[in-house]
Structure 1
């Protein structure tokens, strides 16, 4: 995997760690600021649901981070591809069901990561 692909994967993992932190720990405090168009009284009743989503985002981050430490190049590519596809599909679903902007924030970086992983296939690094 190229260094650029690894950097992109690392940045996507950091993004998902942030999203996980936000959903698990800051939903009721930062949520009303970030999602100012939502009614404030919505955040407390949806706290458990947001935390559940945060756990899933932490799993995405964990899989991406794991892919960076796999020594076998075939497995590194396969695991990175798997988790990048998970991120891309989740982003597409979010874009359709929540806000189109999610495709730019989540799906686009995942697709860039996939392209970089596959372009670097067979190269050292």
Structure 2
């Protein structure tokens, strides 16, 4: 079960690295604009906000990677904390911005957190 939990945590970390890249580097390019349905003007106007969001997603990914490589109990605690942050961010984004975020961010975080807790 621990291997499954680690794989799920790594996948959530990879998801947040992907979000970082989309928001910080591809926001004003075709992949970022088509992903969010923005035209070039909207992407240009919102780029600073997106870059800020991307940075926060990078911090989530870094914390999850730290949780994977740190020895217990620190690694376990870091995973629980950062997965909880992922879930809270996903629920907030799903409620305030786009319901897709619930499935794309909160659900994977919750599944990974359940696996981490079950592996304990």
Please say if 1:12 is aligned against 2:12.
yes
Q: Secondary structure at the match of 2:45?
A: coil
For 1:110-121, list aligned pairs within 5 A.
Answer: 110-121=109-120
For 2:78 and 2:36, locate their aligned partners in 1 and report how far apart those are by CA, in whole Å.
33
TM-score, normalising length: structure 2: 0.94
Residue equivalent to 2:42:
42
Q: How many residues align?
A: 119
Please say if 1:59 is aligned against 2:59.
yes
Residue equivalent to 2:108:
109
Deviates more, 1:11-20 or 1:27-36: 27-36
1:114, distance to aligned residue in structure 2 (A): 1.1
For 1:98 and 1:39, locate their aligned partners in 2 and report how far apart those are by CA, in whole Å.
18
Identify the structure with the greater helix proportion. Answer: 2
- The CA RMSD over aligned residues, in Å, is 1.2
TM-score, normalising length: structure 1: 0.90
1:39, distance to aligned residue in structure 2 (A): 4.1
For 1:33 and 1:108, locate their aligned partners in 2 and report how far apart those are by CA, in whole Å.
23
1:85, distance to aligned residue in structure 2 (A): 0.3
Please say if 1:2 is aligned against 2:8.
no
For 1:55 and 1:46, locate their aligned partners in 2 and report how far apart those are by CA, in whole Å.
14
Q: Report runs of 4+ in structure 1 exceeding 2 Å deviation.
A: none
Query: Structure 2 unaligned runs (5+)?
Result: none
1:35, distance to aligned residue in structure 2 (A): 1.9
Residue equivalent to 1:32:
33
For 1:61 and 1:2, locate their aligned partners in 2 and report how far apart those are by CA, in whole Å.
19
Asked which structure has the greater CA Rg, the reply is: 1
Residue equivalent to 2:79:
80
